[in-house]
Chains A and B, each alone.
Chain A
């Protein structure tokens, strides 16, 4: 029975990503794209500018074949009071005979001119606008860009800082996964929204993200003192799922109300510590130190009032359900970010709450199945029941360590993992002699125990040596020229807020470098994985040698950080954004969440078309 359960879980885990990927990827591709025959305006008319040593503003447009710009639609306007800019007399263009407008002057291929600027007020903001059409029958609305110019004397190297206007409607032609979800959702009414989120939830339920919840729920059900039937199991899991959905609903509500960085709020130290403590308590209960239940007085009162029955306490189950929603939060980051972007745009807390509630329900469906089948799918009695309880206890302790790892110094985290492994090894009888008549199972368990023991010992060594990666505990000892070239580690340049970023971007643009912008925070575990596994990978490092590497550390979550996140419509780290040499974001290729070195390299290749 245990074996069949294990096989079942393995099978489901193995199948789920495939099934989910089929649906998700397709959904992310966005089936309803229009025909893409025409270029987005920024590609039809590629604009750049420069400030000469004499302070004059040089403007240049590269026009794609079969596209043209109107001569009389160029406009220049000084936005800074006191400053002025003049549109020079433009060179004559090609005359195009338009049936509606009569003869008009247009430019093809290339147009450049130089405009005098009066910097009376020092740094000056200038708005440039232009307008054009494609030969075969479309026209673009006037395109406006605001440039921040510094008078050359003050600027030293005459570096102009191009201020990029916040995502214009045109920029939306390039969309990342999260955007596509937001766009997909944008077309539906409330009923449609709720149905869509339910569907998303079902899809998410098939990703491995939800699987950490199954042992927790099973633990609650197994942990109850008596045998429970399907009905009881179903009620318990329903409470669990409802609480989980309720937590998401609160997030949706908050997204609708505030549109703030929710993930950051969830990862506040107090929340982390509290959650970790709860997992420890749960683990102790699993190890049989006590039965998890309310004080007898409360319990009787509750029982009298609810009459739902006995076994796992419903409020306890609800609490675990709520916390579980937070556990899988980072794992389902990209779709959740898409959903939240959409909901903050809606600005309607009721829609937000309902939608995410539906999402939670969808994710809970498999859990309901597990719960309802409590009598059959889950083990009932015997020695191995205790073993499974212990296993859940170990998993719970692991969860606690995982939460704490965001707060603790890495070597200390390593030491905790070591303790957990060694403790588990002892309970598996790693150092106890086997009987001659020991069964295969007993030998197998002892092997596992010994493996845990060894790895635990290695972790202790690593912790003492100051290692920070559970999967490479000996890195500080084995550090050779291969893994850590002396001084060869390329550091990220820190950027702060929108102005800091714009400045760094302009610098990279001047140097003709593509840019990688990494959003990072100390509490963001995925960010650390990215740094350790992906950015440290020799292949990735080699691919990034020509890049300007920028890092926005948003740990503080202050106004400047939030402004930068909002600038890119992000909710929080982890996020890695890529920009081409001209400083334009390659939005379809932005990464939200974690990607391993191989995925990341593939992403880079797609983004830069090598």
Chain B
């Protein structure tokens, strides 16, 4: 009987250990507890004046990171929709942040010409690396990531993001209070 108990103990311990390891590996993908996730916005990219800006600065809002470039037609095509969404939902806590994989000069010119009124940052290799970290393994643009108020990634989209779908997802997440 004692032996059976020992066996049961070892098996149970093994199962618990495996489960714990599995959970530790998977929590990153599914639900990120607060401790580990500050890291999604734990990055800094220069703004158009060349000053490094920490993305943490927008923590607490529903942050939409939009990776784009002036040489990327689909990026430019979806930009007006993002400007509209920012104006419509900004007061409810939505914050678009544009991150350009491009030179500052080209970006500044475009931003001025098109009247984009959410923050725009720009960089080259650092932006490419950050994008990779967020799961954009092919490095293509546009690429959009929705980060909730707790700093967890809730949605990513590669390619042009249809306005209706973007609005549905954003408003859905805005209705949810921060945990």
Contact = CB atoms under 8 A, between A and B. Distances in A.
B91 to A, nearest CB: 30
Given A38-B140, A133-B72, A136-B159, A206 B18 contact: yes
A98 B73 contact: yes
Interface stretch (A189-197, A272-280, A414-422): A189-197
Nearest to A173: B137
Interface in A469-515: none
A540 interface: no
Contacts of A91: none
B17, B37, B101, B136 interface centre (most CB from chain A within 10 Å): B17
Interface stretch (A27-35, A425-433, A436-444, A577-585): A27-35
Contacts of A39: 138
A15 interface: yes
A139 B73 contact: yes
B39 interface: yes
A22 B22 CA distance: 8
Nearest to A204: B21
B164 interface: no
A543 interface: no
A19 interface: yes
B74 A38 contact: no
B21 A141 contact: no
Nearest to B19: A23
A101 B10 CA distance: 67
A20 interface: yes
B158 A35 contact: yes
Contacts of A12: 10, 14
Interface in A359-394: 362, 365-366, 369, 376-377
B158 A202 contact: no
Contacts, number: 182
Nearest to A21: B18
Interface stretch (A180-188, A216-224, A395-403, A445-453): A180-188
Contact of B137 (A8, A33, A101): A33
Main SS of chain A's interface residues? Answer: helix
A4 B24 contact: no
Contacts of A101: 73
A172 interface: yes
A199 B25 contact: yes
A359 B160 CA distance: 42
A265 interface: no
A198 interface: yes
A604 interface: no
B36 A11 contact: no
A99 interface: yes
A358 to B, nearest CB: 11
Contact of A26 (B3, B26, B30, B74): B26
How many B residues touch the partner, as a band? 35 or more
A82 interface: no
A202 B36 contact: no
Given A138-B141, A141-B69, A187 B18 contact: no
Contacts of A142: 71
A19 B18 contact: yes
Given A139-B71, A191-B35, A202 B21 contact: yes
Given A15-B11, A139-B75, A187-B40, A40 B138 contact: yes
Interface string B1-30: 001001100110111011011111110111
A100 B142 CA distance: 15
B77 interface: yes
Contact of A33 (B7, B77, B101, B135): B135
Contacts of B176: none
Contacts of A602: none
Contacts of A20: 18
B88 interface: no
A170 B139 contact: yes
Given A195-B36, A196-B24, A38 B138 contact: yes
Contacts of B73: 98-101, 133, 139
Given A172-B132, A202-B17, A188 B10 contact: no
A26 B22 contact: yes
Nearest to B30: A31
B158 to A, nearest CB: 6
A58 B6 CA distance: 72
B37, B74, B129, B142 interface centre (most CB from chain A within 10 Å): B74
Contacts of B17: 19, 202-203, 205-206, 365-366
Contacts of B136: 34
A200 interface: yes
A203 B22 CA distance: 8
Contact of B39 (A98, A137, A183, A192): A192
7 contacts: A23-B21, A34-B158, A35-B158, A100-B73, A136-B159, A138-B140, A200-B24
Closest 3 CB pairs of A and B: A199-B24, A192-B36, A137-B160
Given A31-B25, A38-B158, 9 more contacts: A11-B10, A27-B25, A34-B136, A137-B160, A139-B69, A141-B140, A203-B21, A206-B18, A365-B17
Interface of B: 3, 6-7, 10-11, 13-15, 17-18, 20-26, 28-30, 35-40, 42, 69, 71-77, 101, 125, 128-129, 131-133, 135-142, 156, 158-160
